[in-house]
Amino acid sequence: MTDGLMVDEALRALAALEAAWKDDDEALAALAVRGPAEQPLAAVVARYGEHAVDTLMALAFGLRSSMTDAELAELTDAVSSNIGARMSALLTRTLRAWGATAGDDLDVVKVIAHAVIDAMRAVTEEPAKTDVLPLLATFRTYALSDTP
């Protein structure tokens, strides 16, 4: 996965997003259990949120792997001049900082998860009508397809 996220971390984050959306405290508590080398759930959810928003913004602005340097420069200028893109970057930096300091506080995980879900929905055509569970399933499929 990109952005330093491993596939298992992305799947753990997506499961946490789903559990938070369903208000399933038992599932969140199970996902918060971690080994010594694993990050707290709040940090993983925030990092995944950053990855998801970055991906959605790239898609919204038409980023393609086949772009020339000139096209990439033009796209970079368009993104940097767009207030929505700048606010998205600010949101993801804030969530990441908050997630890094939240530890295992499941109430904070829920708030971060809902902010990530709202950010994911915000770039869809009709945010208020976007069904969250199918959206998360799409991201899960994407995470699984990104395996080596």
User: Each residue of 127-148: pLDDT tens digit?
Assistant: 778 889 998 998 999 888 865 4
Indicate the pLDDT class of residue 41, thresholds 50, 70 and 90: very high
For residue 137, the model assigns a pLDDT of 92
The four Cα atoms 49, 55, 58, 60 give a dihedral, to 10 degrees, of -80
In SS3 terms, 43-84 reads as HHHHHHHHHHHHHHHHHHCCCCCCCCHHHHHHHHHHHHCCHH
Q: Whole-angstrom Cα distance, residue 127 to residue 4? A: 28
Residues 90-123 pLDDT 10s:
888 898 899 988 878 899 999 999 999 998 888 7
Mean pLDDT of 63-76: 81
Q: Whole-angstrom Cα distance, residue 24 to residue 126? A: 26
The whole-model pTM stands at 0.85
For residue 2, the model assigns a pLDDT of 47
